[in-house]
Homo-oligomer: A and B are copies of this chain.
Amino acid sequence: MFFHVKELQYTAKPSKPDPVYAKKLQEVLGGQYGEISVMMQYLFQGWNCRGEKKYRDMLLDIGTEEIAHVEMLATMIAQLLDKAPVEEQEDAAKDPIIASVMGGMNPQHAIVNGLGASPNDSVGFPWTARYTIASGNLLADFRANLNAESQGRLQVVRLYEMTDDPGVRDMLSFLIARDSYHQNQWAAAIAELEEKEGIVVPSTFNREYEKSDVAYTFMNCSEGTESQQGRWASGPSMDGLGQFTYEAKPVGTGQAPELSPAPGYIHGTPTTKKQ
């Protein structure tokens, strides 16, 4: 069960309205790597957690913190939209700066949301649950989480550079720091699990059942061999179980496929003798 307190986790006050920036800031609220994504991802990972209790508790802690981040961003966006100039006014239309603001806004902020935040990204695409993963395998999922915090911090940093409003920057500097911690956090949790399970997810599949001869080979499917220069092309593999090799000219070993004709009731292209 959940409870709400009135205070935001951190201050969210812009120095002045900026409806064009409000549109951009939606990305880290309702985008692929926005706060709604991590909120939902961590909560579902926690609720579905069949592993040690400390993981469930930790996932629900951070999932609950992310609801507070969604709240801060929604509050910030609503204030950035204060007094947005959407009304038709003879004078406004003549002022190129106001006209530019009117043109650069997300029209739904005015028409649909009445100057409020919405659970969409910076191009107005709605948040979708296909952004999240809760697989039941914590090592896999913590890698998803580390990625989400990496992409998320990158996006917030870019948004930080796109404004010079001190109030907005103050709030973003808080979110950036939390993303720094959360990258550290997932890196720590991954290290803990990799120590037990090794690098390859899932660790419980009997590796005798995989084609071991292609399990450590880089396949150079394009011209040029610059790709041979990386750590992935030679030396011991990261899981310590093999040696990286580089296949410069991979060859297809499978069949050249030929499919049977479809049964008549499918009404595919009629077969002819030439085939």
- Indicate which residue in B130, B183, B192, B242 contacts A131 across the interface (CB closer than 8 Å): B130
Given known pairs A47-B74, A222-B5, the reply for A133 and B32 (CB within 8 Å) is yes
Determine the residue in chain B with the shortest Cβ distance to A271: B51
Tell me whether B257 and A12 are in contact (CB under 8 A).
yes
Query: Which residues 2-27 in A have Cβ within 8 Å of B in the complex?
Result: 2-13, 20, 23-24, 27
- Interface size for A (C-beta < 8 A) is 198
Chain B residues with Cβ below 8 Å from A97 are: 96, 99
Determine the residue in chain B with the shortest Cβ distance to A1: B252
Most chain-B CB neighbours within 10 Å: which of A114, A127, A186? A114
Given known pairs A136-B114, A218-B61, A229-B54, the reply for A107 and B5 (CB within 8 Å) is no
Given known pairs A5-B252, A8-B257, A140-B147, the reply for A65 and B219 (CB within 8 Å) is yes
Min C-beta distance of A115 to chain B, whole Å: 5
Tell me whether A221 and B129 are in contact (CB under 8 A).
no
Min C-beta distance of A29 to chain B, whole Å: 10
A27 to B3, CA, bound (A): 25
Chain B residues with Cβ below 8 Å from A79 are: 259-260
Q: What would be 28 A-B contacts, judged by CB atoms less than 8 Å apart?
A: A1-B8, A1-B250, A1-B252, A2-B65, A2-B67, A3-B5, A4-B61, A27-B108, A27-B111, A33-B112, A44-B118, A44-B119, A75-B257, A108-B123, A110-B266, A111-B162, A113-B135, A123-B123, A123-B125, A125-B126, A126-B130, A177-B211, A177-B215, A178-B214, A180-B200, A187-B238, A202-B267, A202-B268
